Structure formats: structure tokens, C-alpha cells
């Protein structure tokens, strides 16, 4: 077959099936776009983390890193004096709010004399060479800003910029720009002593950057340096920053990619059913080609090429779409895909070409594989027979229950497999098997279901029943498409609804106070001092306040993150956190902590166990009193009594404050009184519980908006597929319709027959899809979610939504079938019968 002929045939086939081809391309494009966007967002985020870490570290080989709230700066001198250390540069880091805005900026307090020996970029333009009134390096109010930070403030060198701090606004003069650190994001660099003072963090540092003396034995030196460090700090290399983040986000990323692959394979399945029907319709065409001398292999190659071209178009369109979408998301939302892992600036766009290529090839391969699956029976067709014969069916799937039952059993077993790391391999395998079982069940299930429908005298119903029950191959392929789409949509809907209802209930319990003063969302620079807390407690109408303090650290011997939530703990709070058991042990026993479900999974901790946590530079042992639910973090958390935390750490600051009103207090007056105190802490907010509750749910809905959009797309694709399938089917049944017209059926009756058939197919598909979707949602909620995100939840059925889903699928199937049939019965019955001559 020469190239010109191939091109002609391709042009003919693709243009005569323009809409179906477009649909197939769209399916593939969607999967490729989603996978590509997830991959690009993640690659960009990691790239920025990596570049920023390397840039800011300069020539440092190692970094001493401590918990989120920092560590005692008394550790600095012993480390700096270690003979293997050539340069030690202490750093304090905070995220400070821009007053009146929701944005924060990273404040880095350094000793410029030390930092400049590791990274000369810290002493850049503007730090010298201006008039006598230029603030010197050590002027407490002088700040050096990276270009990104200057842009964020809309400021230039010499201007004043204002940051929110715990003691009020911090007014700084921009003494210079740091263009060499541009890749570090929006940074405000100040003297370390000034940051400690203005942000009320005397005695605290977050990092010590180290350059080691060359030619000393590294291992021994590092062990020795580590021995001089307090518990809770660790020695790491700057180039490990991105790797560690990648480790933390692995589960999250794999899950999103799995979602994308599901879209891709759904697309592949729809390509298959589209091409199958198309190929069936073109059976004569292929027979003619064979008669004209084309080999069976040639026909298959031709179809694979056609499928591959569709896949290629989809992959190219999907890659472009994915890049555009990730770019737009970066600009609007930053890297944070809703899980709070990244707080980058979003100014790095670093698509990973090799990953994108793999995803694209996967898209092409899916389409080509679908095409090949279609061509298998076609290639072996009997040419003479096919030239005469108008029978256009695909081979029917096996009609018995052995396959679906076997696959379903496999799915059930797979759900109990242990996860590989944080990746729920068993869960995804189980989902795949469950979907396959549902597809294989289409044929026996239609027979079984229609057997339950009593035979009717009405000829149309009898005809429709016969047609669907015998379930020819093309109808089976179409119903399978409906099953897969409905199953995935229903599963996602059930999971998201279960999550939302669970979160709603949890929020109601956790937000048990009347009002909340919150500094936490505005970075960690803003906190409530003990004095501010006392003034809030003294506001008339306030019954009591519960200060809440967060710390984030890495337990020894682990690389994971652990959040410490310190707040007054009582039985009511424990019930709110859905703790088990929700009771406070007597205070005279050992120190107690409640651990989140994630902490159980990630650190292997159990109730009754003694756990060791590095707090304020010493190892503290807590007895695990119970497990609580934490929908805020996918990493581990422990809940401890504030009084214990304060006694252990001498840290009296608070990130958030829960305020309980006295009975009968005038909430408006109390809010006004508290508001005056909160207003003195720039960046902090005061809200009532319902506001925070609603805002949390709004964030949830926004995060899952992409999921809703995907669901809608899946339904639309499935329905478009159904309509297109019916059109092909109706066309191929012209002769049958002609006969029916001859036998006296009116055109309307033929169309009604088609509607009935479509409706019946829709009902069967929707029913099986719901069953499979229910099973998949159980796996998603109890296996995938638990293993990947480490939180438990109960299944809640969105009945109304599911009913709407089933109703619209059945209705649209019926309407689609009849609309598609309209064209087929339009011609005169005589023609249709003659057509057979």
C-alpha cells in the first residue's frame, strides 16, 4: 500500500467520522493534559525549592535544620567552633504578613559577615555606595530585598516597607536590592538580631549553614558535629531539600497521577468503543480493500496507524493543554494543589520534558492499543462473506459469570494488600479489577436483568427486550462505556461527598469555641504574646481563652514531619477531635499525648505506647492516650496539653486563640473589645466559628472543583460516546428498520423502539456502573485514602446526586438513541430493503 493511498484512505475515514474522531482525540487529550499538568506543577515546585535551596546556601555543604519554631541559638557557637567547620552562618526565618493583604513574605535574618562568606549575594548592590545616610549593614531597620520582594511590596531602594509582627508593625527601610538572590523568591533580608528582636524571637534560630574544612573525614566530622546539636535538629545537605519534599509529596503526587491515568484509560476505552463501532460499520470497506489485494496485516497496520494518529493528535493537544493549564494554575494559585505542601512563589515554570514525553507516548499507545484490539477480528474476516454480508457485529464478550466473579474476587483480595510505601498499590489494583469485573458482567447481567422483566404483549417492548437481551457486541461495547463512566463518576462523587460530610462534622466538633483569633494562616511571624493573651482573657464577656500553639518537627530517626498541637485539652475538645477514647487521663500520671491517624500509619505509634519527641532541645516522652482525627494534615500530628508544652519549652506564644464567651455575653461588644487587641497584631484575624467553618468548606470545595469538573467531563464523554454509538448502530440496522416498516411499524414506532432499547441499555449500564462505583468508592475511602492521606472517614451516599446521575444517563441514552436513529429511518423503507439486494 503506498503512502499516497494511505493518506487518501486516512483522509477519507477521518473526515467522514469527524465528530467521532474529535471525541476520541478529546478523550486522550484530557487524560494526557491532566497527567501532564500534575507532573508539570510538581516538577516546577520541586525545581523552585531546589534552586532556592542551592542559591541561598551558596557554598554551604551542610545545614543544621531545626523544628518550625526554631532552636536555641546557644547551639551556634559550639558548632561554629568545631575544628571541621570552616564557616558557620546562623539564620532565622519567618513568614511575615504584609499588613492589609493576604500575602506573606519570607524574612531571613542573617549575620551578613557570616552569610557573605558562604553566599556573596547577600552583600549585593545597594548595601554600599550610597550617601552617608544609607543605613549600615547592622542598622536594625535596614532591609535588603530580592527583586521579587520589591515587586511584591511595589517598593524601590530607599522606600519604607511594612511587615506585620507580634509587637506591631515592623517598619523597614529598603537599603538595597539583592539581584543575585532573585531565584530565592521574595525575600526580605535583615540582620539576625533585628529579626529576633522585632519578631519577639530572642534566642531562636532556624538554621546554621555550614561549610566544612576541606580534606577532613566527613563521616566522623558530621557525627561529631551532630553530637553538639540539640535533639530535634538534623544535619542535611542543601541539595536534599527538593528530594525530601519529593518524599513528602510522593503519595499526593501518585494519587493525582493515578487519577489522570484513570482519565487516560477511560479515554482509551472510549476510543476503543468508538473505533470498534466505526470499524464494524466499515467492515465492507475493509473487505473491499482486502479484495483489492491488501493483506490482513496491512488492514491491521492501517487501523493501528489510524488509532495512533488519533492518539498522537490527542497527546499533542493534551500536552499543550496540560502545559497551559499548569501555567495558568501556577499564576493563579502557586504550586499548592490544595494539600498545603508547597508555599512557593509560582515564578518557576519547569516542565519536565522526559516525563511529558512518557505521558504523551502513553496517550498514543493507549489509542493505538485500542485500535489494535478492534482490528483483531477484522483482519481475519472472510473477504467474500464480508463483501456480501451486512452483518456488522463485533464478537460478543463471554456471556457467563465466571469472568466477572473471578475479577470481583480478585478486586476484593487486592484491597487488603499492604501499601508500597505510601502508595496504595493494592487499592489501585482493586479499583482496576472492579472496573474490569463490571465490564465483563455487562453481558450476563443484561441477560439476567431482562429475564426479571416479564414478557409483554406490546410488540415494541418485546422487540426491544429481545434486542438488548441478546446483546450484540456493539451494544455490549456501548453499555461497557456507560458502566465505566458511571462507575468512576459515582465513585468520585461518593468519596468526595463522604469526605465533605466527615469534614463538616469534624469542623463542627473542632471549632467548639465561639470566636477564634487567628495568626496561623498569616505565616509564622505573627503570634500572640502572653501579654496579648492576658488582655484578651480580660475582655468583659470572655469566659476563658484557649491559646493554641503549633510546632512542626522531625522525630529522631525519621524523615517525616510531625505537627505538635498544644492547647488546653478536655473531654469536650477530645470529642470534637473524634478522639478514641475521648477522656483525659488523671494528671498525676506520665505526660500524655493524643496522636493522629497519620501518626499511627507513618510512625507506627499505638495507644498506650511511650513516644519520644524532641521539644525545645530535649527529648520528651509522652504516653499515647488515644487517637484523634486530623483532616488538616496528611503528615502526623500529636495533641498535647498546653500547660505541659509550656512547662517543657517556656514558649508562651500562641498561633491561634479559641475564645469561649460567658453565658449571656453580648457577642458584638465582646468582638469589638477583642478586635481592638487583635488589631494591634498586624496580620491576625478575629472570626466566629461559623465563618471559619464555612471558609474551610469553601476551600475544600475549591480544591475539589477540579474533581467536579472531571466528573462532568467523564459523563459528557460517556454520553457523547453513547450517542455516537447509537448513530453507528442505527445506520447499520437500516435494513432491519426497513423490514419493520414493511411489517407495518410507523416511523415513530421505530424511533420509540430505539428509545426503549437506548433506555434499557442506559438502565443496565447505570445499574452496573452504580454497583461498581459503590465498590470502587469503598476502596477509595477505606483503602486509598487511608493509605495515602492517612485519615479515616465514614461513607456517606450523595443519594440525590446519584439519582440525578442515573436519571440523566438513562434519559440521555433514550433521547440519544432516538435522535441518532432519526437519520437512519429517514430514507424510504423501500430503499432500505432494496439496499440489501
Partner 1 sequence: MRRAAAFLALIVSAFLTHAADYAPVVPGLKLAFPKDFGAHPDHRIEWWYATGHLETPKGPMGFQVTFFRLRNKAADANPSRFSPTQLLFAHAALADPAHGKLRHDQRIARGFPALAETRTGDTDVFIDDWSFKRVDGKYVARIPGDGFALDLVLAPTQPLLLQGDAGYSRKGPLPSQASGYYSEPHLAVTGTVKIGAQSIEARGSAWLDHEWSSQILAENAVGWDWVGLNLEGGAALMAFRLRDKEGSTVWASATLRRDGKVRVYAKDEVRFTPRRTWRSPRTGVTWPVEMGFEIAGEPWVVTPMMDDQEMDARGSTGTLYWEGAVTATGPGGAKGRGYLELTGYSERLRF
User: Binding segment for partner 1 among 170-178, 195-203, 449-457, 648-656 (CB under 8 A)?
Assistant: 195-203
User: Binding segment for partner 1 among 112-120, 335-343, 558-566, 584-592 (CB under 8 A)?
Assistant: 112-120
Minimum CB distance to partner 1 smaller for 141 or for 284: 141
Minimum CB distance to partner 1 smaller for 90 or for 765: 90
How far lies 8's CA from each of 197, 290, 379, 766, in Å? Answer: 78, 16, 20, 40
| Of positions 5, 7, 74, 328, contacts partner 1 by CB under 8 A | 74
| Of positions 2, 3, 15, 132, contacts partner 1 by CB under 8 A | 132
| Of positions 138, 324, 667, 672, contacts partner 1 by CB under 8 A | 138
At residue 654, the 3 state secondary structure works out as: strand
- Among residue numbers 147 through 186, which ones bind partner 1 (CB under 8 A)? none
Q: How far is the CB of 200 from partner 1 (least distance, A)?
A: 11
How far lies 262's CA from each of 91, 412, 693, 817, in Å? Answer: 45, 19, 32, 27
Q: How far apart are CA 189 and CA 106, in angstroms?
A: 9
At residue 446, the 3 state secondary structure works out as: helix
Cβ atoms 13, 298 nearer than 8 A: no
Q: How buried is 28 (Cβ within 10 angstroms: 0-12 exposed, 13-18 middle, 19+ buried)?
A: buried
| Of positions 1, 140, 305, 323, contacts partner 1 by CB under 8 A | 140
| Of positions 128, 385, 456, 618, contacts partner 1 by CB under 8 A | 128
Asked if 134 is part of the footprint of partner 1 (rule: CB under 8 A), the reply reads yes
| Of positions 12, 158, 203, 748, contacts partner 1 by CB under 8 A | 203
Q: How far apart are CA 172 and CA 98, in angstroms?
A: 12
| DSSP codes, 227-245 | HTSPTT-EEE-GGGHHHHH
Q: How far is the CB of 137 from partner 1 (least distance, A)?
A: 8
Q: How far apart are CA 557 and CA 611, in angstroms?
A: 12
Terminal-to-terminal C-alpha distance of the chain? 31
Phi, psi dihedral angles at 162 (to 5 degrees) = -125, 135
Minimum CB distance to partner 1 smaller for 129 or for 452: 129
| DSSP codes, 745-807 | --HHHHHHHHHHHHHHHHHHHHHHHHHHHHHHHHHIIIIIIHHHH---------HHHHHHHHH
Asked if 197 is part of the footprint of partner 1 (rule: CB under 8 A), the reply reads yes
Q: How far is the CB of 140 from partner 1 (least distance, A)?
A: 7
Q: How far is the CB of 552 from partner 1 (least distance, A)?
A: 23
Q: How far is the CB of 82 from partner 1 (least distance, A)?
A: 12
Asked if 81 is part of the footprint of partner 1 (rule: CB under 8 A), the reply reads yes
Size of the site for partner 1 (CB under 8 A): 29
Minimum CB distance to partner 1 smaller for 137 or for 210: 137
Asked if 193 is part of the footprint of partner 1 (rule: CB under 8 A), the reply reads yes
User: Binding segment for partner 1 among 76-84, 257-265, 298-306, 434-442 (CB under 8 A)?
Assistant: 76-84
Task: Choose among 267, 785, 792: nearest CA to 491.
Answer: 785
Minimum CB distance to partner 1 smaller for 197 or for 731: 197
User: Binding segment for partner 1 among 131-139, 159-167, 386-394, 735-743 (CB under 8 A)?
Assistant: 131-139
Minimum CB distance to partner 1 smaller for 129 or for 588: 129
Cβ atoms 561, 636 nearer than 8 A: yes
Minimum CB distance to partner 1 smaller for 127 or for 245: 127
| Of positions 90, 346, 758, 759, contacts partner 1 by CB under 8 A | 90
Long-range contacts, 235-238 (Cβ 8 Å, 24+): 235/62, 235/63, 235/64, 235/65, 235/210, 236/62, 236/63, 236/65, 237/61, 237/62, 237/63, 238/53, 238/54, 238/56, 238/57, 238/60, 238/61, 238/62, 238/63, 238/209
Q: How far apart are CA 239 and CA 49, in angstroms?
A: 9
CA angle 690, 499, 710 (to 5 degrees): 110
Q: How far is the CB of 777 from partner 1 (least distance, A)?
A: 55
| Of positions 8, 16, 136, 558, contacts partner 1 by CB under 8 A | 136
- Among residue numbers 665 through 694, which ones bind partner 1 (CB under 8 A)? none
Q: What is the SS3 string spanning 501-538?
A: HHHHHHHHHHCCCCEEEECHHHCCCCCECHHHHHHHHC
| Of positions 10, 80, 180, 665, contacts partner 1 by CB under 8 A | 80
| DSSP codes, 684-731 | -EEEEHHHHHHHHHHHHHHHHHHHHHHHHHHHHHHHHHHHHHHHHHHH
Here the cell at position 447 is 441477560
User: Binding segment for partner 1 among 110-118, 323-331, 712-720, 819-827 (CB under 8 A)?
Assistant: 110-118
Phi, psi dihedral angles at 541 (to 5 degrees) = 100, -10
Here the cell at position 568 is 488546653
Asked if 207 is part of the footprint of partner 1 (rule: CB under 8 A), the reply reads no
Q: How far is the CB of 112 from partner 1 (least distance, A)?
A: 9
Q: How far apart are CA 568 and CA 640, in angstroms?
A: 8
x/- string (CB under 8 A) for partner 1, residues 603-642?
A: ----------------------------------------
Q: How far apart are CA 562 and CA 599, in angstroms?
A: 8
Q: How buried is 83 (Cβ within 10 angstroms: 0-12 exposed, 13-18 middle, 19+ buried)?
A: exposed
Q: How far is the CB of 159 from partner 1 (least distance, A)?
A: 20
User: Binding segment for partner 1 among 197-205, 657-665, 733-741, 821-829 (CB under 8 A)?
Assistant: 197-205
| Of positions 192, 542, 565, 772, contacts partner 1 by CB under 8 A | 192
Residues across the chain: 837
Here the cell at position 698 is 469553601
Minimum CB distance to partner 1 smaller for 175 or for 287: 175
User: Binding segment for partner 1 among 108-116, 236-244, 411-419, 607-615 (CB under 8 A)?
Assistant: 108-116
Minimum CB distance to partner 1 smaller for 198 or for 628: 198
User: Binding segment for partner 1 among 99-107, 136-144, 670-678, 812-820 (CB under 8 A)?
Assistant: 136-144
Distance of CA 822 to the CA centre of its chain: 43
Q: Which residue has the cell 543575585?
A: 180
Minimum CB distance to partner 1 smaller for 111 or for 685: 111
Asked if 111 is part of the footprint of partner 1 (rule: CB under 8 A), the reply reads yes
129 phi-psi bin (left φ>0, alpha ψ -120 to 50, beta other): left
Q: How far apart are CA 480 and CA 457, in angstroms?
A: 30
Asked if 705 is part of the footprint of partner 1 (rule: CB under 8 A), the reply reads no
Cβ atoms 618, 230 nearer than 8 A: yes
| Of positions 15, 129, 452, 650, contacts partner 1 by CB under 8 A | 129
Asked if 73 is part of the footprint of partner 1 (rule: CB under 8 A), the reply reads yes
Please report the beta strands in 159-230, taking only residues with DSSP state E, as ranges in sequence order. 160-165, 168-177, 187-191, 204-205, 207-212
Minimum CB distance to partner 1 smaller for 86 or for 288: 86
Minimum CB distance to partner 1 smaller for 25 or for 79: 79
Q: How far is the CB of 205 from partner 1 (least distance, A)?
A: 9
Please report the beta strands in 589-691, taking only residues with DSSP state E, as ranges in sequence order. 592-596, 610-615, 618-628, 636-641, 656-661, 685-688
| Of positions 5, 77, 669, 804, contacts partner 1 by CB under 8 A | 77
Asked if 116 is part of the footprint of partner 1 (rule: CB under 8 A), the reply reads yes
| Of positions 202, 353, 743, 826, contacts partner 1 by CB under 8 A | 202
Asked if 113 is part of the footprint of partner 1 (rule: CB under 8 A), the reply reads yes
| Of positions 191, 514, 524, 641, contacts partner 1 by CB under 8 A | 191
Q: How far is the CB of 128 from partner 1 (least distance, A)?
A: 6
What are the residues binding partner 1 (CB under 8 A)?
73-74, 77, 80-81, 90, 111, 113-114, 116, 123, 128-130, 132, 134, 136-140, 191-194, 196-197, 202-203
Amino acid at each position: 500500500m503506498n503512502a499516497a493511498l494511505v493518506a487518501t484512505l486516512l483522509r477519507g475515514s477521518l473526515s467522514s467520522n469527524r465528530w467521532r474522531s474529535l471525541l476520541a482525540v478529546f478523550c486522550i487529550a484530557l487524560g494526557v493534559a491532566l497527567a501532564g499538568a500534575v507532573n508539570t506543577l510538581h516538577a516546577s515546585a520541586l525545581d523552585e525549592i531546589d534552586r532556592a535551596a542551592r542559591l541561598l546556601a551558596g557554598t554551604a555543604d551542610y545545614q543544621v535544620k531545626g523544628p518550625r519554631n526554631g532552636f536555641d541559638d546557644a547551639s551556634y557557637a559550639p558548632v561554629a567552633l568545631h575544628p571541621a567547620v570552616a564557616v558557620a552562618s546562623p539564620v532565622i526565618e519567618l513568614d511575615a504578613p504584609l499588613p492589609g493583604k493576604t500575602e506573606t513574605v519570607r524574612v531571613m535574618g542573617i549575620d551578613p559577615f557570616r552569610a557573605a562568606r558562604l553566599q556573596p549575594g547577600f552583600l549585593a548592590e545597594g548595601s554600599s555606595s550610597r550617601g552617608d545616610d544609607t543605613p549600615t549593614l547592622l542598622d536594625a531597620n535596614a532591609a535588603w530585598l530580592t527583586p521579587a520582594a520589591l515587586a511584591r511590596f511595589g517598593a524601590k531602594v530607599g522606600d519604607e516597607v511594612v511587615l506585620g509582627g507580634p509587637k506591631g508593625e515592623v517598619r523597614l527601610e529598603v537599603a538595597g536590592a539583592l539581584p543575585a538572590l532573585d531565584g530565592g523568591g521574595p525575600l526580605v533580608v535583615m540582620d539576625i538580631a533585628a529579626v529576633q528582636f522585632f519578631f519577639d524571637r530572642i534566642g531562636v534560630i532556624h538554621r546554621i549553614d555550614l561549610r566544612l574544612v576541606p580534606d577532613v573525614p566527613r563521616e566522623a566530622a558530621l557525627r561529631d558535629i551532630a553530637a553538639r546539636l540539640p535533639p530535634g535538629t538534623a544535619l542535611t545537605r542543601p541539595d536534599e531539600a527538593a528530594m525530601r519534599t519529593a518524599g513528602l509529596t510522593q503519595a499526593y503526587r501518585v494519587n493525582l497521577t493515578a487519577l489522570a491515568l484513570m482519565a487516560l484509560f477511560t479515554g482509551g476505552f472510549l476510543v476503543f468503543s468508538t473505533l470498534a463501532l466505526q470499524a464494524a460499520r466499515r467492515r465492507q470497506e475493509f473487505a473491499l480493500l482486502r479484495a483489492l489485494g491488501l493483506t490482513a496485516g496491512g488492514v491491521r497496520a492501517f487501523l493501528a496507524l489510524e488509532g495512533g494518529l488519533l492518539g498522537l493528535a490527542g497527546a499533542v493537544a493534551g500536552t499543550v493543554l496540560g502545559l497551559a493549564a499548569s501555567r495558568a494554575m501556577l499564576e493563579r494559585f502557586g504550586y499548592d494543589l490544595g494539600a498545603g505542601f508547597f508555599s512557593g512563589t509560582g515564578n518557576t515554570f519547569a516542565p519536565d520534558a522526559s516525563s511529558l514525553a512518557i505521558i504523551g507516548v502513553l496517550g498514543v499507545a493507549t489509542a493505538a492499543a485500542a485500535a489494535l484490539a478492534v482490528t483483531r477480528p477484522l483482519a481475519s474476516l472472510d473477504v467474500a462473506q464480508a463483501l456480501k454480508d451486512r452483518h456488522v457485529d463485533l464478537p460478543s464478550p463471554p456471556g457467563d459469570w465466571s469472568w466477572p466473579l473471578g475479577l470481583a474476587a480478585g478486586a476484593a483480595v487486592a484491597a487488603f494488600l499492604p501499601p508500597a510505601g505510601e502508595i496504595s498499590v493494592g487499592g489501585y489494583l482493586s479499583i482496576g479489577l472492579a472496573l474490569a469485573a463490571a465490564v465483563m458482567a455487562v453481558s450476563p447481567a443484561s441477560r439476567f436483568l431482562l429475564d426479571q422483566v416479564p414478557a409483554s404483549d406490546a410488540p415494541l417492548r418485546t422487540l426491544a427486550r429481545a434486542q438488548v437481551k441478546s446483546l450484540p457486541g456493539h451494544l455490549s461495547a456501548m453499555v461497557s462505556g456507560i458502566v465505566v463512566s458511571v462507575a468512576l463518576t459515582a465513585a468520585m462523587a461518593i468519596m468526595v461527598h463522604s469526605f465533605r460530610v466527615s469534614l463538616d462534622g469534624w469542623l463542627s466538633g473542632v471549632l467548639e469555641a465561639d470566636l477564634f483569633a487567628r495568626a496561623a494562616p498569616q505565616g509564622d511571624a505573627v503570634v500572640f504574646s502572653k501579654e496579648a493573651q492576658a488582655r484578651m482573657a480580660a475582655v468583659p464577656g470572655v469566659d476563658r481563652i484557649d491559646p493554641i500553639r503549633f510546632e512542626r518537627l522531625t522525630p529522631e530517626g525519621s524523615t517525616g514531619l510531625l505537627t505538635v498541637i498544644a492547647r488546653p485539652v478536655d473531654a469536650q475538645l477530645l470529642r470534637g477531635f473524634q478522639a478514641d477514647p475521648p477522656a483525659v487521663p488523671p494528671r498525676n500520671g506520665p505526660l500524655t499525648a493524643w496522636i493522629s491517624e497519620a501518626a499511627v500509619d507513618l510512625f507506627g505509634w499505638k495507644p498506650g505506647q511511650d513516644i519520644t519527641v524532641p521539644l525545645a532541645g530535649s527529648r520528651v516522652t509522652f504516653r499515647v492516650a488515644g487517637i484523634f482525627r486530623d483532616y488538616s494534615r496528611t503528615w502526623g500530628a500529636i495533641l498535647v496539653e498546653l500547660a505541659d508544652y509550656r512547662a517543657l519549652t517556656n514558649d508562651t506564644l500562641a498561633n491561634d486563640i479559641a475564645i469561649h464567651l460567658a453565658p449571656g455575653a453580648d457577642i458584638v461588644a465582646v468582638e469589638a473589645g477583642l478586635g481592638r487587641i487583635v488589631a494591634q497584631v498586624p496580620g491576625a484575624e478575629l472570626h466566629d466559628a461559623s465563618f471559619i467553618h464555612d471558609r474551610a468548606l469553601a476551600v475544600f470545595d475549591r480544591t475539589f472543583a477540579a474533581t467536579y469538573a472531571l466528573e462532568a467531563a467523564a459523563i459528557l464523554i460517556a454520553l457523547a460516546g453513547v450517542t455516537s454509538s447509537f448513530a453507528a448502530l442505527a445506520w447499520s440496522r437500516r435494513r432491519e428498520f426497513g423490514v419493520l416498516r414493511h411489517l407495518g411499524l410507523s416511523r415513530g414506532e421505530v424511533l420509540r423502539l430505539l428509545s426503549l432499547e437506548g433506555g434499557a441499555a442506559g438502565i443496565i449500564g447505570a445499574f452496573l456502573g452504580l454497583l461498581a462505583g459503590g465498590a470502587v468508592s469503598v476502596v477509595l475511602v477505606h483503602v486509598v485514602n487511608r493509605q495515602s492521606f492517612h485519615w479515616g472517614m465514614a461513607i456517606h451516599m450523595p443519594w440525590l446526586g446519584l439519582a440525578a446521575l442515573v436519571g440523566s444517563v438513562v434519559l440521555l441514552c433514550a433521547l440519544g438513541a432516538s435522535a441518532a436513529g432519526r437519520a437512519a429511518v429517514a430514507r424510504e423503507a423501500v430503499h432500505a430493503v432494496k439496499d440489501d439486494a
